[in-house]
Amino acid sequence: MYIFAGGGSGGHLYPGIATAEALRDMEPQAKVLFLCTARQIDRDILLGSDWPYETQPVIPLPGRLGEIWPFWRGWRGSVRMCEQLFRRERPAAVLGLGGFASGPAMKTAARLKIPVAMLNPDAVPGKANKYCRKYANKIFLQWQASMKYFPADQEKCVVTGCPIRREFAQRITRDEAKNQLALDSDRRVLVVMGGSQGGRNVNAAVVRCLTCGQDNDRVKDAIQDWQMVHITGKNDRDWVCRQYKEAGIPAKVLDFTRDMPIVLAAADLVVGRAGASSLAELTAVGVASILLPYPYHKDQHQRHNAQVLETAGAAQIVIDDRDADSTAQRLAKALPRCMAQETLEQMARAAGAIGNAQAAKRVAEEIRALTN
């Protein structure tokens, strides 16, 4: 049995699921148990997978000293849970997926001398990974740029890329993808990944950029031969769809899709946030992007992620200042430049050069090596 600990967001769980699938390819009888958080998103994601899970009592580290006791109580509860489970099952290895739910399992496994590995897909490690790195025998990085944040752990670190679903490695042509999505084969495709968590400002900024504003004429000229696939999240689909219809912009508006490998295969340009898993998918496919890093995190880790792609020439950053109008104005300047054919091709080549669709296989191989 392997234990994968972490959760609280898709960015933590999806790379774990991809790695579990790769492990099963190598060991058809392999068992993987996820130790996740009590958040609903963890249940939603894991219930839709083939993998069993158990919920931990641990909660996020509080920002105020007066709230430390509930955190400590949850932490100790998770440690006890892990101790009982690990002594009973003696897992072959434990993989920390990041976030507050990875800590108890990694610490307990290290104390029991069970091999421990850790995923660090963000350019800059978060609080949990900064703390847990000392328990890991191996640390898997998405990018070489992250090595400098682990000065005392250089021998542990392996640049593997970020594990993503195997479907991203199954290449289909842009025309085939357009056909599967019922898109116009003669128009180029702009994909907007508004999503749900923090996506309202992306949705609003893109719609305002394309339908109104002082730079609208330049944008209108640029998108004449384009069509949209806009993934809005549950709350924004209706009004986004209405705005595109009124503006006469060809658009396929979805609240959610499980077909991201097909959507990205159809894309000529993507606009979206800069989560580590999303960037791993963009670079695995090799598609140009305009990135609006999530502005609400204190450590601005999405800004650091986006800078890796921008430095490589694979993306352009547009700052989301939490105001849809001013963000739309900046986006209106970036879109025409990025939509130029030569720029699209250069950015796509740069994205493909830093992508790794085989990261899950590499991480699975490294985990298995720890058990020998």
Q: What is the pLDDT of residues 254-269, one digit of tens each?
A: 998 889 999 999 999 9
pLDDT value at residue 50: 83
pLDDT reported for residue 155: 97
C-alpha distances in angstroms, 368 versus 19, 132, 134, 278, 331?
11, 20, 20, 26, 45
Pseudo-torsion of CA 267, 270, 274, 276, nearest 10°?
10
pLDDT of residue 197: 57
Q: Kindly state the percentage of the chain with pLDDT values over 70.
A: 98
**What's residue 268's pLDDT?**
98
What is residue 232's predicted lDDT score, i.e. its pLDDT? 95
State the pLDDT confidence band at 98, using cuts at 50, 70 and 90: very high
Residue matched to tokens 């894991």? 46
pTM for this predicted structure: 0.93
pLDDT tens per residue across span 317-344: 999 999 999 999 999 999 999 999 999 9
Q: What's the CA gap between 117 and 206, in Å, rounded?
A: 39
Pairing of strands 251-254, 2-5: unpaired
What pLDDT shows up at residue 196?
A: 59
Q: Where are the domains of the chain?
A: 2-163+358-370, 168-354
Cβ proximity of 23 and 163 under 8 Å: no
Task: Give the count of alpha carbons within 13 A of 205, CB side only.
Answer: 31
Residue 368 in this model has a pLDDT that exceeds 80: yes
Q: How confident is the model at residue 277 (pLDDT cuts 50, 70, 90)?
A: very high
The neighbour count for residue 151, using CB atoms within 10 Å, is 7
Residue 49: the pLDDT is 87
Provide the H-helix boundaries in 184-275.
200-211, 216-222, 237-247, 260-266
Whether the per-residue pLDDT at 314 is higher than 80: the answer is yes
Question: Mean pLDDT throughout 51-75?
Answer: 90
Confidence (pLDDT) at 218:
87
Q: 218-230: per-residue pLDDT in tens?
A: 898 999 999 999 9
For residue 253, report the phi and psi dihedrals to the nearest 5 degrees: -105, 125
**What is the arithmetic mean of pLDDT over 114-130?**
96
- 61 DSSP assignment: P
Residue 215 pLDDT class (50, 70, 90 cuts):
low
Question: For 2-163+358-370, which CATH class?
Answer: alpha beta
Is residue 198 scored above 80 in pLDDT? Answer: no
Q: Once rounded to an integer, what is the mean pLDDT over residues 132-157? A: 97
Q: Is the pLDDT of residue 21 over 70?
A: yes
114 pLDDT tier (thresholds 50, 70, 90): very high
pLDDT given at position 142: 98
Render pLDDT for 286-299 as a digit per residue (tens, 0 to 9): 999 999 999 988 88
Answer whether residue 214 shows pLDDT above 80: no
Residue range 168-354, CATH number: 3.40.50.2000
Binned at pLDDT 50, 70 and 90, residue 213 comes out as low
Would you state the pLDDT for residue 327?
A: 96
The total of other beta-carbon atoms located within 10 Å of residue 126's CB is 17
Q: Using CB atoms within 10 A of its CB, is residue 312 exposed (0-12), middle (13-18) or buried (19+)? A: middle
- Do 2-163+358-370 and 168-354 share a fold? yes
